[in-house]
């Protein structure tokens, strides 16, 4: 893990059920890569957000919901 990746991991959290189609940050149950989600608000796809932000967004979750 690079220094930049380590710093990002400490300052961000995965927020599920929020990504727009094709805007997810990593793989999920139905796909294997960043940017491959096919539906808006896929409950298994996540985006990285600053820590504490996800809890403030209605419909978002810190855990996959699918």
The DSSP letter of residue 59 is T
**R_g over Cα of the chain:** 12
- Find the angle CA(53)-CA(40)-CA(29) to the nearest 5 degrees: 90
Give the sign of the dihedral formed by CA 9, CA 24, CA 63, CA 61: positive
- Rounded-to-10 torsion of CA 44, 45, 51, 54: -70
The residue ranges of every structural domain in the chain are 3-56
Which pLDDT tens digit goes with each residue over 4-57? Answer: 555 555 799 999 998 888 887 876 666 666 777 778 888 888 899 999 999 999
What is the Cα–Cα distance from 26 to 46, expressed in whole angstroms? 7
């Amino acid at each position: 893990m690079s220094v930049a990746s380590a710093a990002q991991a400490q300052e961000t959290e995965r927020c599920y059920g929020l990504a727009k189609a094709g805007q997810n940050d990593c793989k999920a149950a139905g796909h294997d890569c960043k940017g491959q989600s096919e539906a808006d608000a896929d409950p298994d796809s996540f985006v990285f957000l600053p820590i504490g932000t996800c809890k403030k967004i209605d419909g978002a979750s810190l855990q996959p919901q699918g």
